[in-house]
Structure 1
Amino acid sequence: MTASNLPTIQPDIYRPASDSEKLTVLTRLLATYPCRAPSDFRLVKPAYMQAMEKVSQYALFEAERRINQNALGHGFMPSPSELRGQIDHVMEPFLERERRARAEAKRYAWPREIEGSPRLDEAARARIRELHRQYRAWREVNHPESTRAKAPPKPPRQIPDYSEEQIEITDALRRALKAKEAVTKNLSSASERRRPHEPKP
């Protein structure tokens, strides 16, 4: 397995950054960029540590990478607010994705699964059953045709079976059959006369 097809391990974007990691990033930034107002690091350290409260390791390192790629637009040491702004900017798409997932889960959840939704007790169920009974009684009085039992559909008409029925041969049928036989015989004799004579062997 080569390096190009190795499985990609997604970073844990929510793992909190430790104090040592925060100090490491802050030290690298101080060593790389000049401060606008040089001062003692011991005085500005609490402000930077306060700005990096409750940040993840991924967001901290990604913000440092973006600062090194001119995300701030200047070449000076970022202030505590600028550093925290870059960290929050890194986490914006992830927080937006979580917000959409929560909204979608709430939209398609059953009412009893939604937190804070009222749950029906036995008294509420009894009231609903009573209201349903009253509605059915009112409907039977005002719209009796809708509650009346419908008659079953009529069965389809049966096609009579004439296969077993005896056919009576009348005189007219006999004359028609004889006429048909005579016509067939005349046609056969006419076709025989039109056929050329075959040579005798």
Structure 2
Amino acid sequence: MEKPNFGAEHVFRPATHADRVDALRVLVNALPGRRPVDMELMLAAFELALEGCSRWAVAQATREILQGSLGHGFMPSPPELRREIDRIMAPHLAARRREAEAERLYRWPEDDKPCALPAPVGDPGAVARWRAKRDSEKADAAVKAASPPVDPALFGDREARKKRTSADAVSGFLSRQHRRHFHSSEADQESDP
């Protein structure tokens, strides 16, 4: 079996109706088999079996079948031909999945962010507005980079906490401890008969 050609898009180019008919013509004329009663029905069955296959896979499967990959020398049925194509495409599809997973895993968050538009040319007012906006965005980014990340859901009272004294912090801690022990002792009393 040929090694998969990673990154070659020709392996995944869809087969046309003419490609599928050419492959069937080769197989029908080269391999012995029962002649179908209804030729249109046979062609429709093969069209259905080869739906979504690539041009390269159909050609490669035809080649390998003629070289004896099926283990018998007769015309393959539609499912046999599709299984052979799927076997041939398996390493290529696995490589494509690995590439997509690597792309997903190693994508930087900055890759998805929109880039800044270039400065407008000609209109001095537009250039001034653009520079002001760019400078404010740079200042915001610098402040964000210098400060630790804060989750507003957890620290919604961040500004109020900054204004507290150490005595306020200690009394708040003691009141929380008192509430915690008070509620746990009530729960213990309710559970005791």
TM-score, normalising length: structure 2:
0.53
Match for residue 92 of structure 2? 94
Match for residue 130 of structure 1? 156
Question: Which one has the bigger helix percentage?
Answer: 2
Q: Report whether the alignment pairs 1:38 with 2:23.
A: no
Q: Is the 8 A contact 1:11 1:58 kept in 2?
A: no
Structure 1 pair 21/132, CA: closer, same or farther in 2 (3 Å)? same
Q: Report whether the alignment pairs 1:75 with 2:73.
A: yes
Q: Is the 8 A contact 1:59 1:87 kept in 2?
A: yes
Match for residue 152 of structure 1? none
Structure 2 segments unaligned to the other structure (5+ residues): 1-7, 113-149, 171-193
Structure 1 pair 22/128, CA: closer, same or farther in 2 (3 Å)? same
Map residues 19-168 of structure 1 onto 2, 5 A cutoff. 19-35=17-33, 37-40=34-37, 41-110=39-108, 126-127=152-153, 130=156
Identify which of structures 1 and 2 has the higher relative contact order when contacts are C-alpha pairs closer than 8 Å and 6+ apart. 2
Structure 1 segments unaligned to the other structure (5+ residues): 1-9, 115-123, 143-201
Deviation at 1:34, TM superposition (A): 1.0
Match for residue 164 of structure 1? none
Distance 2:60 2:54 in 1: 10
TM-align CA RMSD: 3.2
Deviation at 1:108, TM superposition (A): 2.4
Distance 1:81 1:135 in 2: 70
Deviation at 1:54, TM superposition (A): 1.5
How many residues are paired up?
Answer: 122
Distance 1:14 1:128 in 2: 49
- For 1:105, the aligned partner's letter is E
Structure 1 pair 110/128, CA: closer, same or farther in 2 (3 Å)? farther
Distance 1:13 1:101 in 2: 15
Deviation at 1:134, TM superposition (A): 8.2
- For 1:39, the aligned partner's letter is P
TM-score, normalising length: structure 1:
0.51
Distance 1:126 1:99 in 2: 38
